[in-house]
Structure 1
C-alpha cells in the first residue's frame, strides 16, 4: 500500500532531510587518503545525534552502524571498518536520519584524490542519471518513466545498472511502497501522484551488472570486482517537477572549501 504524505508530514521529512544533508557535508570534509572509514561513521553519528536526529540505519534489521560505506567494488550496504582510504578509491556514503517520526535517505559517491578517468566518468554519469530520472518524477507520469530514464542514460554511456536493488517509498518507515527500480519501461508502473515521497537511488557499475553478497549478510559487491557508484535523493512528487528534499549542496561546499 502506498502512503501519500500531507504537507505537514512533508515538512517533517524536510526537517529530517536537512539534518541528513548537513551530516553528508560534515562527512565530506573528512574524506581523504589516510582516513579510516569507521571514523566517518563516528562523525556522522555524532553530528546526527547532536542535531536532534537518530541514524536511521543503526540497528535497522540488525545493521550495526550509522552509515553504509561502500568502497570501490562494494555497491551498497558496506560496513565502516578500519580500512584506510587510499588515493584513487571511490567511496559511497549512504545515510538516513529519523526525526519527528519520519525518515530521510541520501547517498553520494566520492572520489578520493585522483581516480582513473573511466571511474570519474562512472561517478559523473551515475549522478547525472539520478537527476535525469528525477525530472520525470512529476504527477501524471509513471514510475517506469523515472526508471527507464536512469537506465537509458547509464547504459548509453557504456555502464550497467544493478537490478536486484531498488529505491523505495519513505516516511514513517525507512522502506515503504512502492519499489523504485533503476531500469524499466516508459509508461509502465505506478502512476505518480502528488504527495508521494520516494528515495531514488541509481546503482551503476563500471563492468557487468551482476552482484554477490558477502558472508556478513549485508555487503553487496560487484561480481567482477570492478567499481560501482551510488547516488540517492529523497524527493516528493509535485505537479510539474519533483521537490528534492535532500541536497548535495553541503557536500559540494565541503569539497570546494
Structure 2
C-alpha cells in the first residue's frame, strides 16, 4: 500500500480544489427540481467546472461517459445521466462530482430531495450525512483508519439501514483513487495509523433496506438489490494533528 502524505503546497492546491467543488455542488443543488433531466444536471455541472478553469475528473474515467454521477432513488452510485430520465416530485437524487485543479483532485457527493419527499426518505438522507460526521470524529493523526469505518457503520445500522459493502471510500490526491481503501463498516483489524497530511475521500453509501447491491447492464449504475432507496454523502478530508479539515465543506 502506498499512501501519500501531502506537502503544505499540495494541501493548498487540494484545499482550492475542494473549495471550488463545493461551489459546484451548491449550484447544482439550486438547480434540482421536478422536471429537470439527469442529463441537464450533468451538463450544468461540467459547464461550471470548466468555467472555473478546472477539469471534470469523472469524465471518461475508466470509460465513464459523464462529468457528474446522477443516481436516483434505488441507484446507489454511478448513475449515468440521460435526457429521458426526468426527476419527479418525491424522488431523491445523489450527485457525485469531482474536479482537477492544477493537477489535484477533489471528490464529494450529496443526496438531495426533489420537491416534497417522505419523512422516511428524509431520514435516510439525514442519517447518511450524519454517519459521515460520526466517522470523522476519529479522523485525526494517531488514530487508526478503521475507527472511522466502524463509527460510520455503527451509526447507520442503529436505524436498521444496510451499509453498502461492495463500494468503499479512498485516498485522493494527484489521482482520483489512491490508497487506502476506506470501508464504511467495522473491520477485524484497526487499519493503518493516520498521519497528518493524508487526504481521504470518505463516503458512506447507505441503503434503506438491505446492504446488497447489483450492477445494471450498463456496467456502471449500482442499484439496491431489494429496490430500496439509497443515499450517498462524501467529502474530501485532510488529516491533521488536531481536528480533520473538510476540504469540500466550508460552511
TM norm structure 2 = 0.97
Asked if structure 2 preserves the Cα contact closer than 8 Å seen for 1:141 and 1:187, the reply is no
Quote the residue 2:55 is aligned against.
54
Q: Distance in 2 between matches of 1:37 and 1:78?
A: 9
Q: Distance in 2 between matches of 1:186 and 1:151?
A: 13
More moved, 181-190 vs 59-68 = 181-190
Residue in structure 1 matching 2:163, options 155, 161, 164: 161
Partner SS for 1:238:
coil
Q: Distance in 2 between matches of 1:128 and 1:17?
A: 20
Quote the residue 1:37 is aligned against.
38
Quote the residue 1:254 is aligned against.
none
**Off by >4 Å, runs of 4+ in structure 1:** none
Quote the residue 2:64 is aligned against.
63
Residue in structure 2 matching 1:131, options 133, 138, 153: 133
- Deviation per CA, 1:57-114: give whole Å up to 9, x if none: 0010111100000000000000011211111100000000001111000000001111
Q: Distance in 1 between matches of 2:70 and 2:130?
A: 21
| Root mean square deviation of aligned Cα | 1.1
Q: Distance in 2 between matches of 1:177 and 1:187?
A: 17
Query: How far is 1:247 from its partner?
Result: 1.3
Does 2:47 match 1:15? Answer: no
Query: How far is 1:132 from its partner?
Result: 1.1
Quote the residue 1:143 is aligned against.
145
Q: Distance in 2 between matches of 1:185 and 1:174?
A: 24
More moved, 181-190 vs 162-171 = 181-190
Structure 1 residues without counterparts, runs of 5 or longer: 250-257
Asked if structure 1 preserves the Cα contact closer than 8 Å seen for 2:19 and 2:250, the reply is no
More moved, 183-192 vs 135-144 = 183-192
TM norm structure 1 = 0.95
Q: Distance in 2 between matches of 1:74 and 1:156?
A: 22
Aligned counterparts, 1:232-251, within 5 A: 232-247=234-249, 249=251
Quote the residue 1:24 is aligned against.
25
Asked if structure 2 preserves the Cα contact closer than 8 Å seen for 1:168 and 1:179, the reply is yes
Q: Distance in 2 between matches of 1:243 and 1:18?
A: 12
Alignment: residue pair count = 249
Q: Distance in 2 between matches of 1:217 and 1:187?
A: 31
Query: How far is 1:152 from its partner?
Result: 0.4
Aligned counterparts, 1:167-182, within 5 A: 167-182=169-184
Query: How far is 1:248 from its partner?
Result: 6.8
Quote the residue 1:122 is aligned against.
124
Q: Distance in 2 between matches of 1:22 and 1:226?
A: 30
- Deviation per CA, 1:174-205: give whole Å up to 9, x if none: 00000010012487111111001000000000
Asked if structure 2 preserves the Cα contact closer than 8 Å seen for 1:142 and 1:187, the reply is no
More moved, 9-18 vs 170-179 = 9-18
Quote the residue 2:77 is aligned against.
76
Asked if structure 2 preserves the Cα contact closer than 8 Å seen for 1:142 and 1:186, the reply is no
